[in-house]
Chains A and B, each alone.
Chain A
């Protein structure tokens, strides 16, 4: 079975590079995750799933073609590694070989520096976040992140959050991801946070989450975050981008939003290091 997919520019080097084996990290109806030997994580997602910056996007929905069915049976994934390279991802599927062919490239959403956020918008998102469950026991750590004024404190606050919470993308990581992206957008230098991610994430959390954190250091994100950031910064007219972010995943959207709010709310405090992140 050959399935065309649109691939993110972020995965082009790995996807179009030499063929290498990739291990299964997991698969649901809407997304399948693979990690290559070079520790790059690729996501294959359905058309209706969240567009991760490391994703190959299919034209079908989860209801039309469930990736959990396309992937090898869970018990067999260890013995059925995939291969990635030469423009495609291949594996022995349940009904014969599966080829996901990268036939088109798309540019993942990227957060650019866009100046300070509008207070009213931040307040609105902040109060909306308070209504949401952002995952177990990260509230205090989020406050610490918001209040961290120097690189050391940022490093410690991020270290305390990495890997906190259940699942493939723990809530603590989502908060850090949102924080990094918000800081970049609003012109807040967070060298300690970025250093903590680069130094600790690979060991502190799941491979997928670590990939998303590294992408966030580079400014890459899901489109919902980019839209929410633009809305906070007043770059686009308010159009419920914040609400759409909160709707992402079970707790991911709210945790990402909490991170954005953390990055936005402490801007009035003197920054330890000048310049944009």
Chain B
């Protein structure tokens, strides 16, 4: 046996959506079988009929109908009370909060920011789509992601050229724009030098040497390790040079690269000669000035003094006769050291060899002079870059120290944004544990204002017994000297 009540209230307008919600809420109450809370329109009166309620007399569309059918009187009363409560309800204090959701694509973000520099670090297979979206939105792009194909890289750089934009990367680890260090980068002062880099750690070396010389930069633009390959042909390097050439604050540009394609390098030198701004080249390779020499050349071109590059002498005494073992986090630093050492010592085995016949398995035991790039893709698969996570290098350091054939261990330590917060704290005990028969030489790449504190890092490494240099080339030469003296 069910009970029901149908009531029409005049002058009680509420909008239909509110009333549908009220109806739904009342229906959800225990013991309520049917409910309609609605204005008395013809449609609603038909619904009322359809639900088996009796129409109240003389209802107009301006009357509020409340019809509830329940299983018993208490349920009916509860249902009606719920109607009253729901109709009286007002939004809570949270109502009307207009928080914005974060944008989901770069182009959506750019609608509010305007043209910006988009930093893309999504997994490589998605990077092309995101980068193209950024270019579509009028943004310059820096792509940290790797695994972007050469075809895609060329397409991105061609589109950027059409739109007057710049693509940094892919696989770009270093840039400084507006004084902001992006990726692996340093805290640097504003100054007259622009840096274009097809090499991450190579650029870091040049920037830190400039910093040591008291010379700041306008910007450093990493163009990706393949930019000076034959296929990509310096597309972004040219765009970056054009931007610097147009910038009144840039008096000189340094182009830093790991070994480039010969014809691309040659074309680029001709192109650089047509610019109004002086361009220096620091391109690693046999017969080329090393990064330190190229930086010194740039300083002289600016009329700035070339300082003595800071260094901290290590343990005295000569190491035994034996081999040079280089353990690098930076690929270009490794390249530079190999070029210097190969001239002096002959073949250098490596996972990134200067000559194909010098290739060795990075994970195998070393024989002869060897330099390993721990930042190479093969050794970083599934783990952070060695500039962040030194585990592999520390293990190898201990192994090389135990090898009786090892006379000198050459390491690079890179400071700055993105790098390990205190690399010396991990390296110093490992260096201290190396026997006196083996020398440890460190090239320490850092700027004066880097968060890790360059001097403190150098001091800790020196105290552990290492010879510390801020010039990678000087460190490599010193290591070769030690090997030659021991002979």
* Interface, chain A (partner B; CB < 8 A): 6, 9, 12, 103-107, 112
**Mind listing 10 A-B residue pairs with CB under 8 Å?**
A9-B189, A12-B189, A104-B180, A104-B187, A105-B190, A105-B216, A106-B178, A106-B190, A107-B249, A112-B248
Q: Which residue of A lies closest to B178 (CB)?
A: A106
Give complex CA distance A104, B188 in Å: 8
Q: Is B179 an interface residue (CB 8 A)?
A: yes
Q: Which residue of B lies closest to A104 (CB)?
A: B179
Q: Which residue of B lies closest to A107 (CB)?
A: B190
Further pairs besides A106-B179, A107-B190, A107-B249: 16, Cβ < 8 Å: A6-B179, A9-B189, A9-B190, A12-B189, A103-B187, A104-B179, A104-B180, A104-B187, A105-B179, A105-B188, A105-B189, A105-B190, A105-B216, A106-B178, A106-B190, A112-B248
Give complex CA distance A104, B189 in Å: 8
In the A-B complex, list the 6 residue pairs whose CB atoms are closest, starting with the nearest.
Answer: A107-B190, A104-B179, A106-B179, A105-B189, A105-B179, A9-B190
Which residues of A lie under 8 Å from residue B179 when comparing CB positions?
6, 104-106
Q: Which residue of A lies closest to B188 (CB)?
A: A105
* Interface, chain B (partner A; CB < 8 A): 178-180, 187-190, 216, 248-249
Which residues of A lie under 8 Å from residue B180 when comparing CB positions?
104
Give complex CA distance A162, B179 in Å: 35
Give complex CA distance A6, B188 in Å: 12
CB distance from B175 to the nearest CB of A (A): 14
Which residues of A lie under 8 Å from residue B178 when comparing CB positions?
106
Which residues of B lie under 8 Å from residue A104 when comparing CB positions?
179-180, 187
Give complex CA distance A104, B219 in Å: 13
Give complex CA distance A104, B181 in Å: 9
Which residues of B lie under 8 Å from residue A6 when comparing CB positions?
179
Which residues of A lie under 8 Å from residue B249 when comparing CB positions?
107
Give complex CA distance A112, B251 in Å: 15
Give complex CA distance A105, B189 in Å: 6
Which residues of B lie under 8 Å from residue A107 when comparing CB positions?
190, 249
Q: Which residue of B lies closest to A6 (CB)?
A: B179
CB distance from A10 to the nearest CB of B (A): 11
Which residues of B lie under 8 Å from residue A9 when comparing CB positions?
189-190
Q: Which residue of A lies closest to B218 (CB)?
A: A107
Give complex CA distance A211, B248 in Å: 26
Give complex CA distance A12, B187 in Å: 14
Which residues of B lie under 8 Å from residue A12 when comparing CB positions?
189
CB distance from A129 to the nearest CB of B (A): 27
Which residues of B lie under 8 Å from residue A103 when comparing CB positions?
187
CB distance from B258 to the nearest CB of A (A): 28
Which residues of B lie under 8 Å from residue A105 when comparing CB positions?
179, 188-190, 216
CB distance from B198 to the nearest CB of A (A): 25
Most buried by B among A12, A103, A104, A106: A104
Which residues of A lie under 8 Å from residue B189 when comparing CB positions?
9, 12, 105
CB distance from A245 to the nearest CB of B (A): 19
CB distance from B157 to the nearest CB of A (A): 26
CB distance from A150 to the nearest CB of B (A): 33
Which residues of A lie under 8 Å from residue B190 when comparing CB positions?
9, 105-107
CB distance from A36 to the nearest CB of B (A): 21
CB distance from A98 to the nearest CB of B (A): 20
Give complex CA distance A9, B248 in Å: 17
Which residues of A lie under 8 Å from residue B216 when comparing CB positions?
105
CB distance from B6 to the nearest CB of A (A): 53
Q: Which residue of A lies closest to B180 (CB)?
A: A104
Which residues of A lie under 8 Å from residue B187 when comparing CB positions?
103-104
CB distance from A153 to the nearest CB of B (A): 34
CB distance from B455 to the nearest CB of A (A): 15
Q: Which residue of B lies closest to A112 (CB)?
A: B248
CB distance from A249 to the nearest CB of B (A): 22
CB distance from B192 to the nearest CB of A (A): 10
Give complex CA distance A12, B216 in Å: 14
Give complex CA distance A63, B249 in Å: 33
CB distance from A3 to the nearest CB of B (A): 16
Give complex CA distance A106, B249 in Å: 12
CB distance from A237 to the nearest CB of B (A): 13
Q: Which residue of A lies closest to B248 (CB)?
A: A112
